[in-house]
Chain A
Amino acid sequence: MNKSPSVLVIGGGSTGTGIARDLAMRGLDVTLVEKGNLTHGTTGRMHGLLHSGGRYAVSDQASAKECIVENRVLRRIAGHCVEMTGGLFVQRPEDSDEYFQKKLEGCRECGIPAEVLSPEEAREMEPYLAKDIKRAIKVPDGAVDPFRLCVANAASAVEHGARVETHSEVTDVLVEDGEVVGVEVTHQTGTGPYVHGNPGEVEEIYADYVVNATGAWAGQIGDFAGVDVEVRPSKGVMTIMNTRQVDTVVNRCRPKGDADIIVPHETTCILGTTDEEVEDPEDYPEEGWEVDLMIETLSELVPMLEDARTIRSFWGVRPLYEPPGTGTEDPTDITREFFLLDHADRDDLPGMTSIVGGKLTTYRMMAEKISDHVCEKLDVEAECRTADVPLPGSEDFSVLRDYMDDFGLRSPIGRRSVQRLGSRADDVLNSIDPNPVVCECEAVTRAEIQDALDTAGTDLNSVRIQTRASMGNCQGAICCHRMANELAPEYDEAIVRSSLDDLYQERWKGERHAMWGEQLSQAALKHMLHATTMNRDEDPATAETDLDFAAFDDGSPSDGGNTSDSTSGGAVADGGRVAADDEGGANGDN
């Protein structure tokens, strides 16, 4: 048995998977539990901005400096999760010159490369910027795929011996003799390799140390342990466009405000966001006016957004935290720094630390800090190596071009597969032959779906976020059932069907926020394909009463109780009409 100290990490977002990887690489015995799939919480619901730090260069320079450091680290270790798009802070005529100057100086003070562009230069980079913009600051913002990033961290943790359990909700924190000694989890569903328990099964997992990395949910874990962790969850909306109207991250250069960023992401752009405190990170209103606000406000920067097609909207919850007594009223003023709350020091409850605040760009640094902290508690001496060792898929990412040549992948399908898979492309794409396309919008092939299923079990949403299948224009109309079919023959038909239902419902939920114009037409088609063509809404296999097959036409001319015409074979002209009121027509040529 492994004699190294054991650590239990709660939360399968970027921070939790980052900590699990870090500690596992240091030789500790790590278990990570997550109540949903990886990225289920905040990580899976962000706009995918890899901060340069420019955004915080005036208001929060400590965060800004961390961002630019980690921005460079992620480009090095997570190349296959990052697209270096560059970013612009765009000033409109009504935006203050003074703030523009402060932003520029702030960037320079924090070591963020920043260059002022004339309106002509800015529009040369991004032709759809408004005609009347005044100028812009260019910074090294980028786009990051949070799903790929989390999965790569989890995969690396597993490679280093960690146990990762998704769909395993912590339902209690075990406290013995005034010390946290583990947690109770309830396994929920699924039979994949990342879930070892059976649905409904309760398991107590003991550990030498517990890390609460549940972000906006940290307070709920705190409650189980009897300590107060006052996170201030703050919701934000993000609206996904069907194409990339911009190829650079576009920020509005003004102090703060809703709807001030556009992030190009894969084949789409994501508009964000709002910042509004909510009571419960699970249950908050998702309102249409928030979507309208995104479109209308960001059209001031990129006018074509006003009439562009959106494919869905989603909301995320920030795990904002400020030390007790700070008393900030407006959530946009709360610091984006992260905090380690050691419950031994703070609440006289040894054995557990919570990590709150922070942001995706600095997830690795947060993981490093808390791993240092845990090692110190457990008296382990081991260096952090996560800033230097590439994540699975990003080793030797420079070979990407060679892969394209190797596979003759000139088509968009191959190119996109290789981009998504990075250095794993060879193994994955060679694993299946023939390798047909399953999702046409996002060009995802069977090999990628099967590869994702290795870690997803029956959870097609997890397959979706790993591969992008069903996330394109059609929002799963054409491919949801194809993805489900990939579960067979390993899983039986009833599981295939229920997994399909789950995925289809999830795809519908976000698309509802985009249901007008082209996307309403698309949604209507999706409904027709699944309800009419496939009859999934009235599927007799799920009906309670048995179907009387004998009451229906069996194709033979003598069939049917209502048959009024016994003409044999082929089509009869009048369909057995009783009343004769036809105007001109002979009964055809039969």
Chain B
Amino acid sequence: MAITDDVLVIGGGIAACTAALSAAETGARVRLLAHKKSTLRQASGLVDVLGYAGDEGPFSDPYAGLDALPEDHPYHIVGEDGIRDGLRLFDEAVGDAYQGGHTDTNALVMTHGGAVKPTARYPESVAPGLASSSGDMLLVGFENLTDFDAPVAADHLTAAGVPFSVRGVTLEFPKSFRSDAKVTRFAKALDRDESVDGGTARSVLADAIDAELDGETRVGFPAMLGDDHDDEVRDELADRLGVPVFEVPTGPPSLLGLKLEDMLFDALDEAGVRISAGNPAVDFEAEDGRIETVIVDQKSRRTPYEADQIVLATGGLVGKGIDSDREHITEPVFGCHIPHPEDRYEWSEPEAFGSHAFARFGVVPDDELRPTDEDGAVQFENLRAAGGVVGGADIAREKSASGVSLSTGAVAGRLAGEEATQ
């Protein structure tokens, strides 16, 4: 007997979670089929909607840039309403943990390299550090954490012309770890407030920073201020220092990304979405242009999952929702058509930050987000796509990754749910 649901969402990232939440809102019985850990551990945890389009940007109003996007951009399918619906689902899912929902205007957040970028939603811990708000800033880096060099980031931020003064200092973390210790180990020491020479991790750290403070009204750290007790860590540091503290989003392993993943899965639980995790969807059975069964490889046992409607949200090249060999770009689960140049040297540009074709690889959706074949015909009547597997957006350049995932997830999930419950 196959496992049967109304809507089966394949994937485990922002798009998949949003699609599942959106489908659940329609009253459908929804299952999320996640394989490995999502790519959120590699993401900053910021939720961008649109920062740049063509030669334009950065946009303070992301909706103002929609017209400048190319015709085949997924935002033109989901429309402004779809984007807003995606953000609504996101805001409901994460509650107070993210800010930015009070306005349509993008915020400018500093990156760990010291550049600033436009974003629509930002974690609460990042909020006091917005580059678009005033207040002199002290950045604190640690000798052991090589991903963030506070003095370099401070000077870089200054080079961008921020309307406040910023200074960086490098300190020794109160506790020493192995030379290859990851940021999570530092977070844990603060979480548990481990005892160190001269007191506890938080108090000794606060004392060291206090000695450096020179009138700055906010203090920033790489995103490592605790994991399970992050609020407590930030509150205690802010309290001891007498100024707000904030986190700067970093690269992998990104604690902010991991926390977002946890929040989204909690929201799925709350919405009654069933979750099957740990195994990949590898195959399917179809009849008359409809997918009947999705086959999941459970330690080499093939388990069938049945559903009326299916949402493909397996990610792009990074998440392996799109695969390739020396000649072809493919969508591995359903074999959806992905247009691409024949010569693989045309998939990328010689300039590192050129306009890479690979950045826009993905399935070609119809106006209901159903993947189409080479001739533009719908490939499977009950299959929709969301997130990175959808082509047409240059999410890296546009700073639109989360926005595309949220909006296509919201729309694909809603349409699937409505169809299944009719």
Contacts and interface: CB of A to CB of B under 8 A. Distances in A.
Given A446-B146, A560-B104, A588-B92, A523 B348 contact: yes
Contacts of B104: 560, 562-564, 575-576
Contacts of B95: 570-571, 588-590
Nearest to B417: A583
A440 B107 CA distance: 33
B324 A516 contact: yes
Given A532-B395, A555-B133, A572-B101, A539 B115 contact: yes
B144 interface: yes
Nearest to A287: B345
A1 interface: no
B358 interface: yes
A341 to B, nearest CB: 37
B161 A546 contact: yes
Contacts of B220: none
Nearest to A566: B102
A533 interface: yes
Contact of A555 (B130, B147, B317, B395): B130
B57 A575 contact: no
Contact size range, B: 35 or more
Interface string A570-590: 111111110101111101111
Given A536-B113, A538-B58, A576-B104, A512 B99 contact: no
B80 to A, nearest CB: 8
Interface string B94-129: 111111111111111001111111100100000110
Given A436-B180, A504-B352, A563-B103, A538 B51 contact: yes
B105 A532 contact: no
A437 B149 CA distance: 14
Contacts of B165: none
Contacts of A504: 352
B308 interface: no
Interface in A30-45: none
Contacts of A496: 152
Given A533-B251, A570-B96, A571-B94, A485 B103 contact: no
A111 B159 CA distance: 64
A508 B356 CA distance: 12
B234 to A, nearest CB: 15
Interface in B157-198: 157, 159-163, 172, 176, 178-181
Which applies to chain A's interface (DSSP): helix, strand, loop or mixed? loop
A520 B358 contact: yes
Which of A436, A553, A555, A577: most chain B Cβ within 10 A?
Answer: A553
Interface in A420-478: 434-438, 440, 443, 445-446, 478
A15 B371 CA distance: 59
Interface string B134-158: 1000000001111101011001110
A292 to B, nearest CB: 7
Nearest to A286: B345
Contacts of B162: 549
Interface in B317-334: 317-318, 320, 323-326
B397 A571 contact: no
A554 B161 CA distance: 16
Interface in A260-315: 288, 292, 295
Interface stretch (B42-50, B288-296, B372-380): B42-50
Contact of B401 (A436, A507, A532, A552): A532
A421 B389 CA distance: 45
B297 interface: no
A423 B149 CA distance: 31
B306 interface: no
A547 B127 CA distance: 20
B399 A436 contact: no
Which applies to chain B's interface (DSSP): helix, strand, loop or mixed? loop
B418 to A, nearest CB: 8
B132 A552 contact: yes
A564 B344 CA distance: 47
Nearest to B163: A549
Interface stretch (B66-74, B83-91, B203-211, B275-283): B83-91
Nearest to B83: A575
Given A292-B326, A553-B130, A571-B94, A436 B106 contact: no
A540 B98 contact: no
A437 B159 contact: no
A552 B117 CA distance: 11
A482 interface: yes
A435 to B, nearest CB: 5
Contact of B42 (A288, A525, A570): A525
A550 B251 CA distance: 27
B179 A585 contact: no
A26 B91 CA distance: 75
Contacts of A568: 102
A315 B199 CA distance: 57
Given A434-B179, A532-B396, A533-B43, A541 B115 contact: yes
Contact of A559 (B87, B101, B105): B105
Interface stretch (A17-25, A79-87, A396-404, A487-495): A487-495
Contacts of B347: 515, 520
A553 B348 contact: no
A553 B180 contact: no
A434 B176 contact: yes
Given A492-B155, A527-B396, A539-B115, A571 B356 contact: no
Interface in A513-532: 515-517, 520-521, 523-525, 527-532
A534 interface: yes
A496 to B, nearest CB: 6
A585 B344 contact: no
Contact of B128 (A555, A562, A571): A555
B356 to A, nearest CB: 7
A524 B317 contact: yes
Contacts of A540: 58, 115-116, 160-161
A488 B159 CA distance: 16
B316 interface: yes
B326 A549 contact: no
Contacts of A481: 113, 147
A437 to B, nearest CB: 4
A370 to B, nearest CB: 38
Interface of B: 25-27, 39, 42-44, 48, 51-52, 57-58, 60-61, 80-81, 84-85, 87-89, 91-92, 94-108, 111-118, 121, 127-128, 130-134, 143-147, 149, 151-152, 155-157, 159-163, 172, 176, 178-181, 249-252, 316-318, 320, 323-326, 343-345, 347-348, 350-353, 356, 358-359, 395-397, 399, 401, 414, 418
17 contacts: A288-B344, A435-B179, A488-B152, A530-B352, A541-B115, A547-B108, A553-B108, A557-B102, A560-B105, A561-B61, A571-B99, A572-B101, A579-B80, A579-B84, A584-B26, A585-B88, A587-B88
Interface of A: 288, 292, 295, 411, 413, 434-438, 440, 443, 445-446, 478, 481-482, 485-486, 488-489, 492-494, 496-497, 504-505, 507-509, 512, 515-517, 520-521, 523-525, 527-541, 546-557, 559-577, 579, 581-585, 587-590
4 interchain residue pairs of minimum CB distance: A560-B105, A560-B103, A493-B155, A588-B92
